[in-house]
Amino acid sequence: MKKLIALLLVLCTVLPIASCHGTEDSVAFSVPESFDTSREYEISFWAKNDTNIAQVNIYKQAIADFQELYPNITVNLKLYTDYGRIYNDVITNISTDTTPNVCITYPDHIATYLTGKDTVVPLDELFDDAKYGLGGSEVRFESPKESEIVPKFLEECAFNGYYYAVPYMRSTEACYINKTYVEKLGFTLPETLTWDFVWEVSEAAMKKDANGNFAVNGQKTMLPFIYKSTDNMMIQMLRQKGAGYSDIYGSVELFNDTTAEILKTVEEHAATGAFDTFKRSGYPANYLNAGQCIFAIDSTAGATWMGTDAPLVDIPEEKLVEFETVVMSIPQFDPEDPKMISQGPSMCIFNKEDPQEVLASWLFMQFMLTNEVQIAYSQTEGYVPVTEKAQKSDEYLDYLSRAGEDNELYYKIKLDAAKLLLENTDNTFVTPVFNGSASLRNAAGQLIENVNKGVRRKQELDVNALYDEVISLYRLDQIQTSSDKVSFGDLPNGSVALLAALCVCWIGMGIYVVIDKTKRKK
Amino acid sequence: MKKIIAMMLVLVMVAAFAACTDNDETSKTSSVAESSAVESSVAESSVAESSDAESSDASSEAEDNGVMTYEEYIAAELESEVVIEAYVQAHQSWWEDKITVYCQDKDGAYFLYELACSEEDAAKLIPGTKIRVKGFKTEWEGEVEVASGATFEFIEGADTFIADALDVTALLGTDDLIKHQNEFVSFKGMTVAASKDAEGNDVAFLYNWDGSGEQGNDLYFNVSINGATYNFCVESYLCGKDTDVYKAVEALEIGDVIDMEGFLYWYQGANPHITSVTVAE
């Protein structure tokens, strides 16, 4: 009898506890035992390109090659040139349950998609599946193993305990420099670019001649230092200074004293005209190529637009100026400990009722990681492949060794930009991902934009007022930190009653044991 | 006593199983919460770029409220505050509480980039409507405009104005063309010249500047006159794929002689946003 009671007690203890949990399980997809090739599948792929026909053609070729291997899967390509538009369309389509199957995205955006239940498929189980996983036995192409994806890039796709994406391409930011003008101003480029150096040269470039032209270029226009992505600028400066931005729980740390110092510096150099931004003035590449900019900071994935001999040019030919272009990593506060952002497209899969359709999507996504696709796409810009398998392939190493052979495929600036990331992968970082991290990123850039505009509009900088304005604009005070939204919430009434009953049981049993022992002693 | 304990244990077990099957209710609650979170994210995203949107109906005020003439606007320094009144000629599609508007009056034209605007007000921005705009004058890649985040109000009871297209064909390639920046203009008797697609083929138009787009994206096409060739654009947020002009450009053939109307936008030079195309007989 006692054994039976003990057994029942164990059961009673375990079951109620189990009943209190498990309601938040969002893993609805599980890998089918086998892929049903007797069926036809139609999957959609929303892809972003840099308004670059070569990239579009690679997507199309990849789809054609994949469909040859899997004739029962049709992939419909939808093209975007803007991550923001993809994000907005996905959000709209989540509510109507018409999300794409596969989508180019950023982890920040996935964090928002995940606020819908079971929207994005966690990939861990798919990675590991012996038949259809990475390097799986039933995959009809040479897919990379998980260990062959650059660990740093793969880590960027993990959050909330799961992999929700795979990296597709990676880039960082680079500083494209008019070395000719730097030297004309009497400076020599250091081994590692520093913020102090950039500010000093930029201020020197503001000197004008007797005719009112800038002395260094003899033109009426000179914007020595232009930053394309001011959110990256703020984020990287803060990281280099070891200052707060946000933590993994979603706490906003952006509005700190270091940020205020950075904004003061921006104000100082915007006031002289030495610093400007893409949003206020235009593309850094256009000014660089017209001899109107000395330091143009943009993505390594924008390298084909940079320099006198750039294969892509967006200004009239008569405005192009001859100069020597050099690619360097972004300016640093501590040259001994360089830090730069890791960016670039990732891919995620949206969940569907039919697990076979999800599996078809996964096979296609995996195909995008093959050497053929990775190497071809990376060559369209200063991207690098995300697999070590591609990075170490003979074909890719040969490509890297031929920098400068022509001004198209082997355009030196583009290859130098890619090499910059390859050599600095360990120095890259990403910011924590949470629902609201995309807004925080925008807010970081907005601070710089507002200061830059404000100075020119003769508005006095009030950092605290600016902080309040930006917090309100991006609703940063509404971001929920992880600790705010404890997964289990309050216990349901039933569970409370259950636990109370358990207590009563234990008390009852205790009483019984005591009475029993007393009786025996007697 | 043993019986009582056994009974209680049975009760607890039954209750435990009942609690396990109670997940549905919890899931529903959780699902609602998550779905609201998505909506709030959309709201978060929508508000993100919109600044101090305060557009609203306002009665026409005769008082001197700093409204500039077109001449004063042109003379104003870049990054200075401007207040103008003009008539809506067209606008691009509303997005995230912003709208880009082409405005004009009898003296000149204004390009209002990403005006802060609610969706409700966007619906009232019909051609001819007079609005008062307050913002900052700026220049982006050669285009002089009222910067993003400007606010506006409708001028109730005001007259309306629709600009006639000014023929600027003869001004192409001259320094005088920029004087008509942003105006509603026409180009007559120009010949469609070849563009190169991705395979190097001669085509009459491209989706996106290099052909990297697809139907629904901006259209780019070359037109020639007097030995010079110019690149014109159908801006998809102004004239989408279902509009007559979009379809007309898609139907163009190299060598067609066409008349066009549009707004004289600027990007590193004249880059008109074409709103109508007619193939000459």
CB contact under 8 A, A112 and B11: no
Contact at CB, B26 and A53, closer than 8 angstroms: no
- Flag whether pLDDT at B142 surpasses 50: yes
Contact check, Cβ <8 Å, B6/A49: no
Q: Residue A118 has what pLDDT?
A: 85
Indicate if A227 and A113 belong to the same structural domain: no
Judged by a CB distance cut-off of 8 A, whether residue A82 touches chain B is no
How far is the alpha carbon of A77 from chain B, nearest alpha carbon, in Å? Answer: 10
* Cα A191 from Cα A193, distance rounded (Å): 7
d(CA A414, CA A422): 13
3-state SS of A408-471 is CCCCHHHHHHHHHHHHHHHHEECCCCCCCHHHHHHHHHHHHHHHHHHHHCCCCCCHHHHHHHHH
Torsion of CA B36, B39, B44, B49, to 10 degrees: -170
| A394 Cβ contact list (under 8 Å, min separation 6) | none
Let me know whether A235 and A326 are in one domain: yes
Q: Which of A5, A53, A116 sits opposite B211 (nearest CB)?
A: A53
The CA-based angle B203-B246-B108, given to 5 degrees, is 110
SS (H, E, C) A84-125: HHHHHHHHHHHHCCCCCCEEEECHHHHHHHCCCCCCECCCHH
- C-alpha span between A155 and A425 (Å, rounded): 13
Structure tokens at B271: 């880059």
- Whether the CB-CB separation of A293 and A178 falls below 8 Å is answered with yes
Residues of B with Cβ-Cβ distance to A316 under 8 angstroms: 268-269
Smallest Cβ–Cβ distance between B16 and the set A15, A438, A478 belongs to A15
* B-chain residue closest to A85, CA distance: B95
Q: Name the domain boundary from A380, A401, A422.
A: A401
Contact between chains at A5 and B51 (C-beta distance less than 8 A): no
Q: Give me the CATH topology for the region B166-279.
A: OB fold (Dihydrolipoamide Acetyltransferase, E2P) (2.40.50)
Q: Which residues 172-231 of chain B have a CB within 8 Å of chain A?
A: 198, 208-214, 217
CATH number of the domain where residue A127 is located: 3.40.190.10
- Over residues B242-268, the pLDDT tens digits come to 999 999 999 999 999 999 999 999 999
Tell me: the pLDDT tens digits for B211-221?
A: 999 999 999 99
Is B20 within 8 Å of chain A by CB?
yes
| Percent of chain B as helix, strand, coil, to the nearest 5 | 25, 35, 40
* Beta bridge pairs of residue A105: A346
Are A350 and A467 in the same domain?
A: no
The interface pTM score, or ipTM, of the predicted complex is 0.80
Same domain, A89 and A213: no
- Is the domain covering B56-156 a CATH 3.40.50.720 domain? no
Pick the residue from chain B with its C-alpha nearest to A285: B141
Cβ–Cβ < 8 Å for A175, A327: yes
A438 contact residues in B (CB cutoff 8 A): 45
Least Cα distance to A475 among B96, B45, B115 occurs for B45
Q: Are residues A152 and A301 in the same domain?
A: no
Contact indicator for B114, A279 with CB cutoff of 8 Å: no
C-alpha distance from A60 to closest chain B C-alpha (Å)? 11
What domain range includes position A350?
Answer: 41-171+343-401
Can you give the pLDDT at residue B54? Answer: 41
Put simply, the answer to whether B41 touches A22 (Cβ < 8 Å) is: no
CB contact under 8 Å between B38 and A95, yes or no, is yes
Q: Is A163 exposed, middle or buried, given 0-12, 13-18 or 19+ CB atoms closer than 10 A?
A: buried
Scan for tokens 């999957």, then name that residue.
A43
Residue B185 near residue B262, CB atoms below 8 Å:
yes
What does the alpha-carbon distance between residue B78 and residue A456 come to, in Å, rounded to a whole number? 9
* Same domain, residue pair A221 and A294: yes
Integer Cα distance of A487 and B40 in angstroms = 19
What CA–CA distances, in Å, run from A481 to A100, A251, A446, A474, B104?
29, 6, 22, 16, 48
Q: Hey, what are B82's tokens?
A: 């401007």
CB contact under 8 A, B198 and A53: yes
Q: Do B41 and A435 touch (CB under 8 A)?
A: yes
For chain B, the domains span: 56-156, 166-279
Domain shared by A123 and A82, yes or no: yes
DSSP-derived 3-state class of residue A67 = helix
Residues A388, A331 share a domain: no
Residue pLDDT, tens place only, B18-53 = 444 433 333 322 322 223 322 333 333 333 333 333
Please report how many Cα atoms fall inside a 13 Å half-sphere around the Cα of residue A306, on the Cβ side.
33
Contact B8 A505 (CB under 8 A): yes
Contacting residues of A for B97, CB less than 8 Å apart: none
Contact B194, B254 (CB under 8 A): yes
Specify if A485 maps to a domain.
no
CA angle at A421 for the pair A420 and A423, rounded to the nearest 5°: 70
Is A311 within a domain? yes
User: Counting every residue, how long is chain A?
Assistant: 522
Q: Is residue A18 part of a domain?
A: no
pLDDT tens string B60-116 = 444 467 999 999 999 999 999 999 999 999 999 998 899 999 999 999 999 999 999
* CB nearest to A16's CB, from B16, B23, B47: B16
pLDDT recorded at residue A242: 98
Contact between residue B260 and residue B277 where contact means Cβ atoms under 8 Å apart: yes
Same-domain pairing of A246 and A297: yes
List residues bridging with A177 in a β-sheet. Answer: A295, A326
With an 8 Å Cβ cutoff, are B12 and A20 in contact? Answer: no
A506 touches chain B (CB under 8 A): no
How many domains does the structure of chain A reveal? 3
Closest CA to B48 of A481, A256, A457, A91: A91
Asked if residues A86 and A105 have their Cβ atoms less than 8 Å apart, the reply is yes
Residue A115 has a pLDDT of 85
Instruction: Name the burial class of residue A490, with classes exposed (0-12), middle (13-18) and buried (19+) by CB atoms within 10 angstroms of its CB.
Output: exposed
Instruction: Name which of A152, A79, A86, A78 is nearest A113 in CA terms.
Output: A86
Q: Are residues A311 and A457 both part of a single domain?
A: yes
* A275-277 β-sheet, strand order: A275-277, A225-227, A295-299, A173-178, A325-329
pLDDT at residue A19 in the model: 40
For every one of its 522 residues, what pLDDT tens digit does chain A have, with 9 covering 90 and above? Answer: 555 555 555 444 444 444 443 333 444 799 999 999 999 999 999 999 988 899 999 999 999 999 999 999 999 999 998 898 899 999 999 989 899 999 999 999 999 999 888 899 999 999 999 999 999 999 999 999 999 999 999 999 998 899 999 999 999 999 999 999 999 999 999 999 999 999 999 999 999 999 999 999 999 999 999 999 999 999 999 999 999 999 988 999 999 999 999 999 999 999 999 999 999 999 999 999 999 999 999 999 999 999 999 999 999 999 999 999 999 999 999 999 999 999 999 999 999 999 999 999 999 999 999 999 999 999 999 999 999 999 999 999 999 999 999 999 999 999 999 999 999 999 999 999 998 999 999 999 999 999 999 999 999 999 999 999 999 999 999 887 765 544 444 455 555 566 676 767 677 777 777 777 777 665
Dihedral angle sign, alpha carbons of residues A401, A404, A405, A409: positive
Residue A28 inside a domain? The answer is no
| A215 in contact with chain B, both atoms CB, cutoff 8 A | no
Please check whether residue A314 is in contact with residue A51, taking contact to mean a CB–CB distance below 8 angstroms.
no
Give me the phi and psi of B165, to 5 degrees please: -70, 130
